[in-house]
């Protein structure tokens, strides 16, 4: 697989690779990833449900139909928020779940992704605002999204809070494009600010 065919991004804590998207597809996909990130962060902060659960359920509601799915428990210590362990989980998931061609794309992407994650203050893990100990860092959530054709999307989400890695292969139904383009009018600016090319 030729890396030059991919446009790659860093958005919040998600690494994104889009294969030859047109501008409408590109915008719709990036808005979907950004908006679902905000929803999932909200869910974690209000302790409603695990980050990854909200993230993946929101994708499904945006007409990303599941073609295959696997979940993997990465450790049994939900208190652990060690970024290195989360990075190791992501790399293991890439090797375990992605087809061979996409593994190469992910390998190219993850090195600058983790470097940027460490360097950029705006992408530090969420802090609990209402926590008495403001220095306490919430669990680190990571995501890798690859779109390899007009319909096929691969997602790996690492939820350190829930101690698991979730893999999904989605097929995007046509209804997604219209819905997603309309989704994020009120947060477009914030998403644009967070969006960086890798």
Partner 1 sequence: MFDIEKQQLSDNERARKFDAMRLPSIKHAQPGFSTLTLPDDDSADFKPAAGEEHGVVIGDSVLTLEPKMSSIAAEAVQYSTFYAQIWANDKYPNKEKDLREWYGEYTDAMTYMGWNMTAFNFKEQQNNNTSVDVDQVALKMLAAAAGPGAAGLVLMNSIRAGLAGLQESNEAAGLFHRESTKDTNASFQLMPAGERSNGTPLVLLNSVYCSTKKNKGKILFISWNNSDVRIWGNAQRMEMLMSIYDQVKSKVREELGDYLVSGFHQKFKLKRKPK
Rule CB under 8 A: which residues touch partner 1? Answer: 1, 38-39, 42, 45-46, 54, 58, 61-63, 65-68, 99-102, 148-152, 169, 171, 173-175, 177-179, 181-183, 186-187, 189-190
Per-residue burial over 19-36, b = 16 or more CB atoms within 10 Å of its CB, e = otherwise = bebeeebbbbbbbbbbbb
Q: Which is nearer to partner 1, 85 or 196 (CB)?
A: 196
**Min dist. Cβ of residue 32 to partner 1 (A):** 10
Structure tokens at 70: 């696997």
For partner 1, the closer CB: 70 or 111: 70
Question: Which CB, 165 or 183, lies closer to partner 1?
Answer: 183
Smallest gap from Cβ 19 to partner 1, in A, equals: 8
> Roughly how many angstroms between the first and final C-alpha of the chain, as a whole number?
18
Min dist CB 72 to partner 1, Å, is 16
Between 70 and 75, name the residue whose CB sits nearer to partner 1. Answer: 70
* CB-nearer residue toward partner 1: 120 or 175: 175
Query: Is 144 strand, coil or helix?
Result: strand
Phi, psi of 71, rounded to the nearest 5 degrees: -130, 145
Tokens for 106?
């992910």
Q: Pick from 176, 137, 174: which is nearest to 36 by CA? A: 176
Quote the distance between the C-alpha of residue 114 and its chain's center: 13
From the CB of 139, what's the least distance to partner 1, in Å? 18
Indicate the DSSP class of residue 127.
B
Q: How far is the CB of 58 from partner 1 (least distance, A)?
A: 6
Structure tokens at 8: 């790659």
Q: How far apart are CA 141 and CA 187, in angstroms?
A: 20
């Amino acid at each position: 697989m030729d890396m030059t065919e991919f446009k790659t991004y860093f958005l919040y804590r998600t690494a994104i690779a889009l294969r030859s998207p047109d501008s409408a597809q590109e915008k719709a996909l990036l808005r979907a990833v950004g908006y679902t990130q905000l929803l999932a962060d909200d869910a974690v902060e209000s302790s409603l449900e695990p980050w990854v659960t909200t993230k993946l359920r929101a994708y499904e509601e945006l007409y990303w139909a599941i073609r295959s799915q696997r979940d993997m428990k990465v450790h049994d210590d939900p208190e652990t928020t060690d970024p290195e362990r989360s990075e190791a989980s992501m790399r293991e998931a890439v090797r375990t779940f992605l087809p061979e061609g996409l593994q190469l794309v992910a390998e190219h992407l993850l090195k600058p992704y983790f470097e940027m994650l460490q360097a950029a203050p705006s992408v530090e893990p969420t802090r609990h605002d209402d926590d008495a100990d403001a220095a306490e860092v919430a669990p680190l959530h990571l995501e890798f999204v690859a779109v390899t054709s007009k319909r096929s999307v691969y997602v790996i989400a690492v939820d350190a809070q829930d101690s698991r890695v979730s893999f999904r292969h989605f097929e995007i139904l046509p209804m997604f494009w219209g819905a997603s383009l309309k989704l994020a009018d009120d947060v477009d600016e914030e998403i644009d600010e967070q969006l960086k090319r890798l």
